[in-house]
Amino acid sequence: MVRTVDGGLLAVLVAVFAAAALLSLLVTPLVRRLARRFDVVDQPGARRVHSSPIPRGGGLAVAGSFIVVAGVTLAIAGDGATFATAALSRQEVAALLAGGALGAVLGTIDDWFDLRARWQLVGQLVLAVFAVSLGITVDALANPFGPGVIELGGLFGVGFTVVWILGMVNSINFIDGLDGLSSGIALIAAVTLAIISLTGPVVQPDIAMLCLAFAGALAGFLRWNFHPASIFVGTSGVMFMGYTLALLSILGTAKVAVALLVLGVPIIDTFWIIVRRLAAGHSPFSPDRGHIHHRLLDLGLSHVQTVLLIYGLCVALAILSLVLSGSGQLYAFLGALVVFGLVLLLLERSADKGEETAETRAGEPEAPAGSWPEGQ
């Protein structure tokens, strides 16, 4: 059943989104200036699509805007009628806001010193352990084989939570390859989680507010991050966005399945990339140009066309997450997993054939002047 949203609550939610967007819009140029001053920039390279150094660390602007707006809103309205049905404890709020700040700080260290992948993984584990230590765990999952839920207790719940947070952070990290791609996908996911929070069986206005504060911060940042980007989210943004989405989906009722589907593109891309790298005997964290966005660029799509196409796929999955039940969402995700894998396989084979053809032509001797090519 679709619920109507109270006019007063809707006004607050719109104001929260607008405030976070405006703050992020204004703060991002300041972060960009600091990044340039301290030479925290992303240099062009073989896997990069930009041709000049671009400041990174934009995640600080997103994180700061979200934490300030969400924190102030909870302080002002948290005990009032607007969030009378709020169910978040102080520990859960601390896990979300303080954990997000911690993620941004840990990511900034990587942006500054360009750490190896193993140290990034250590930082992700620190974040996951921090969340679990404050009581954040996945207690149950929708049963895909029938009614009810599958209870996750004790170590199973803790283990799933750690894997969920690590998986979400790395999914955002792996898809962060084009201007505005990861921040736009996170924006779509945040808005979807907000809608579910307001229209689902259990109305959670506090979760909706947090989702829209997050979405607003991303929207303001996207003005500077969309192609041609003048600043990247950096590892600070990847850690913050992945962690925040992971916790919002855990704190919201039955939203793990929703997040699994709406973030299907980066999650499935990450899954198949890891499978392919391990099958080739490489580290799952070894960089390459095998991601879906690289393959679409190789097909001839422009930078903007590739990003908008992936946005469209995410919106389609978001709509499915809104109209399907818990088990239906899981089946849709599994279907997308198979289809996505086949598409990636076809794109990879197409790219390999193109490279073989180019190498063959490069090795052929040039025809003598005045002669016709064979077959003409």
Phi, psi angle pair for 56, to nearest 5°:
-125, 175
CB 245 within 8 A of CB 50: no
Average pLDDT, rounded, for the chain: 86
CB 326 within 8 A of CB 254: yes
Q: Between 301 and 276, where is the model more confident? A: 301
pLDDT at 359: 47
Number of domains in the chain: 1
- Does residue 18 lie in a domain region? yes
- Does residue 364 lie in a domain region? no
Lookup: tokens for 52: 């000049």
Residues whose CB is less than 8 angstroms from the CB of residue 73 and which lie 6 or more positions away in sequence, other chains included: 12, 16, 209, 213
Say whether the peptide bond before residue 228 is cis (omega within 30 degrees of 0). Answer: yes
Alpha-carbon distance of 350 to 225, in angstroms, equals 31
pLDDT at 1: 44
Q: pLDDT-based confidence at 94, cuts 50/70/90? A: very high
Q: Which residue type does 231 have?
A: I
Share of the chain above pLDDT 70, in %: 85
Question: Dihedral through CA 8, CA 10, CA 11, CA 14, nearest 10?
Answer: 160
Residue carrying structure tokens 């690289």: 294
pLDDT at 91 over 70: yes
Q: Minimal CA–CA distance to 56: which of 236, 263, 242?
A: 236
Averaged pLDDT, 15-43 = 96
Lookup: tokens for 268: 């499935």
Tens digit of pLDDT for each residue in 197-219? 998 778 899 999 999 999 999 99
Tens digit of pLDDT for each residue in 30-67? 999 999 999 999 988 666 667 789 999 999 999 999 99
pLDDT at 344: 75
Q: Between 178 and 346, where is the model more confident? A: 178
- Does residue 237 lie in a domain region? yes
Kindly report the pTM of this predicted structure: 0.88
pLDDT at 360 over 60: no
Q: pLDDT-based confidence at 172, cuts 50/70/90? A: very high
Alpha-carbon distance of 115 to 189, in angstroms, equals 28
Alpha-carbon distance of 13 to 22, in angstroms, equals 14
The enclosing H or E element of 261 equals: helix 256-262
Lookup: tokens for 369: 């002047």
- Does residue 141 lie in a domain region? yes
Residues whose CB is less than 8 angstroms from the CB of residue 122 and which lie 6 or more positions away in sequence, other chains included: none
Share of the chain above pLDDT 90, in %: 56
- Does residue 300 lie in a domain region? yes
pLDDT at 338: 84
Q: Between 278 and 341, where is the model more confident? A: 278
Q: pLDDT-based confidence at 363, cuts 50/70/90? A: low
Residue carrying structure tokens 């703060």: 27
Tens digit of pLDDT for each residue in 285-313? 777 777 888 889 988 999 999 999 999 99
Min mean pLDDT across 79-83, 107-111, 287-291 is at 79-83
pLDDT at 261 over 80: yes
- Does residue 173 lie in a domain region? yes
Averaged pLDDT, 90-114 = 95
Give residue 72's domain range. Answer: 8-43+53-359
CA angle 350, 352, 355 (to 5 degrees): 110
Alpha-carbon distance of 101 to 248, in angstroms, equals 15
Q: pLDDT-based confidence at 369, cuts 50/70/90? A: very low
Write the DSSP string, 200-245: SSS--HHHHHHHHHHHHHHHHHHHHHSSSPSS--HHHHHHHHHHHH
Q: Indicate the burial class of 365 (C-beta count within 10 angstroms; 0-12, 13-18, 19 or more).
A: exposed
- Does residue 374 lie in a domain region? no
Q: pLDDT-based confidence at 181, cuts 50/70/90? A: very high
Tens digit of pLDDT for each residue in 150-170? 888 789 999 999 999 999 999
Q: Between 142 and 256, where is the model more confident? A: 256
pLDDT at 66: 98
Tens digit of pLDDT for each residue in 303-352? 999 999 999 999 999 999 888 866 677 778 888 888 887 887 787 777 66
- Does residue 375 lie in a domain region? no
